[in-house]
Each structure stands twice: as structure tokens, then as C-alpha cells.
Amino acid sequence: MFWRKQKAAIERFHPLHKALTLEGGFSVSLRRDDWEQVIQSLARHSAEIRRRRWRLSGRVPGVLVPMLRVLAADMRPDGTLSVAADMRGHKLPEKNGPQHDVPVRPPITSMKQWYAVDPWLRMRAELRDGSVLELSVTDRIRHRKYRKRNPRGKIKFKSKSKTVQIVSVTRRLAKDAVVQRPGTPPPQWVRVRVKQGGRLVIRANGKFAGPLEDGAMVDQILQVSTEPFRWTPPGTAARRAK
């Protein structure tokens, strides 16, 4: 049987590693320390799997694993870390909206436009200070396919796309947690909203042109993630959010 050694290796992977390899994603909640087994299994992938069909998206070692480690470092051992990862890409029919016509000018004679929305990572962590952090990363891709006539009258069909990456981070604290406006404003590409009444909720949203390299993507996620922590006094722990 072809590729039998690699198939056997996949069977030895952690179940979540196997799901990423064969299905392109998973959605699960585990205790903090249980994620280390997943990370160690993922670390073996490139050494044991060579077939293109079973290669992992670069976002797994480049974004998912670093974010697992960052969040786990700020959690209690009994804290729960929930992850929904979808590495199948944006080309699936269910991620693409309907096509519609766009007004054009010569030499373009017609154009179709549609959007793809790919929420490829969602995480929820119960932090050591008692607050709960939720983050999501979504690609929003505008596709355009158009018909163009060149000066010699020849018709050509072309396409292009533009990607915007959206990072959303929410920190939920106890209702009596103190809000303190930071001394400096957030970056212009980050928007922060604070909601009081019941539990304190601080939301930060960042939007930027993509797609970014994996390392740069992690930096942007972390930059947005720091904003909700700048709105509470340093060194004060929140009560556990109920």
C-alpha cells in the first residue's frame, strides 16, 4: 500500500493533530496542561509527513502553536483553553458569498465581485487573574473577476483579490473591576470599546491589510490582545468572571 508508513504515523498522532491533518481543523476545550501533548505531537509533523496532501497549513506552527503557548503561560493549571481552528482555507463554497456585477469603465467591459469570509482561528482562555480572554482571527477577501479589451481588440479575462485580516479580542472581568483609561491612545488601526453594567467587558478590534507572514500575524494578534489589559490598573487581579 502506498504511503503506508506515513498513514501509520498519522494514526500515532494526537487525535487533534490527526484532525488537523485529515480534516483541516478541530473545535475543542482542554485543560491548560493537556495542550502540551498536542503541541509535542505537532512538532513531529514535518519529520514524519512528506505527502503534500497531508501537509499542515503554515498557520499551525506559525500562529496556532505560538498562541497556545502565550495563552497557556498566563493560565492556571486547572484553567480551560478552548480552540476552534479551521485551516481549510477560504475557497470553500460555504465561505464565499454571492457574486454581483460592479460598474466598470473601458477598457474593462464587465466585472463580477464577491467576498469570502474565513474565521480560521477562535480561542478562549480562563486566565490566572480570573478574567476570560476571547480572540478571533478572520480573513475577509474581496474577489474580482473581470473582462478586459486591449488596444488591439483582444479580449482577456483576469482576476484579482484583496485581503483584510481582522483580529478581535474581548476580555471579560468581574462587575466590580476598575477601569483606568491608559495614558496613551491605541494605534489608529485598533478600536477599543468598554462596556460596564453587569460584568466589565473590554473589546479591541484591529484591521489591517493581509495576508501577513505568520510571525507578523502573531505580532499583530499580541498587539491587539494587550489593549484590553491597558484599561485596568496594573498589578490588580480581577475576580473570577462567573
Structure confidence at residue 2 (pLDDT)? 63
DSSP assignment of the chain, as one string? -TTHHHHHHHHHS-HHHHHHHHHSEEEEEEEGGGHHHHHHHHTTHHHH---GGGPPPTHIIIIIHHHHHHHHTTB-TT-EEEEEEE-S-S-SGGGB---EE----TTEEEEEEEEEEEEEEEEEEEBTTS-EEEEEEEEEEEEEEEEEE-TTS-EEEEEEEEEEEEEEEEEEE-TTPPP---SSPPPTTEEEEEE-SSSEEEEEEEEEEEPPPHHHHHHHHHHHHHHHHHTS-TT-PPPPP-
Tell me how far apart the alpha carbons of residues 57 and 89 are, in angstroms, rounded to a whole number: 9
The average confidence (pLDDT) of the chain is: 92
Under 8 Å CB-to-CB from 92, ≥6 apart: which residues?
none
Given a cut of 60, whether residue 236 has pLDDT beyond it is: no
In tens, the pLDDT along 48-63 reads 999 999 999 999 999 9
* Nearest partner of 145 among 119, 122, 113, 171, judged by Cα: 113
Residue 196 has a pLDDT of 83
Mean pLDDT of 90-108: 94
Q: Quote the number of domains for the chain.
A: 1
Residue 199 included in any domain: yes
Q: What pLDDT is attached to residue 239?
A: 46
Range of the domain at 149: 58-230
Residue 32 lies in a domain: no
Q: Cell numbers 491612545 correspond to what residue?
A: 185
Q: Identify the pLDDT of residue 133.
A: 97
In a domain, 48, yes or no: no
Q: Is residue 105 part of a domain?
A: yes
* Domain assignment of residue 184, yes or no: yes
Q: Is residue 7 part of a domain?
A: no
Residue 187 in domain: yes
Which of 106, 110, 112, 114 is closest to 145 using CA atoms?
Answer: 112
For residue 142, give the nearest of 86, 109, 100 by alpha carbon.
100
Question: What digits encode the pLDDT tens for the residues 117-156?
Answer: 999 999 999 999 889 999 999 999 999 999 998 888 899 9
Q: Would you state the pLDDT for residue 238?
A: 47
pLDDT for 198 beyond 80: no
Mean pLDDT of 225-235: 87
Q: Is the pLDDT of residue 235 over 90?
A: no
Inside any domain, residue 37: no
Residue pLDDT, tens place only, 14-38: 999 999 999 999 999 999 999 999 9
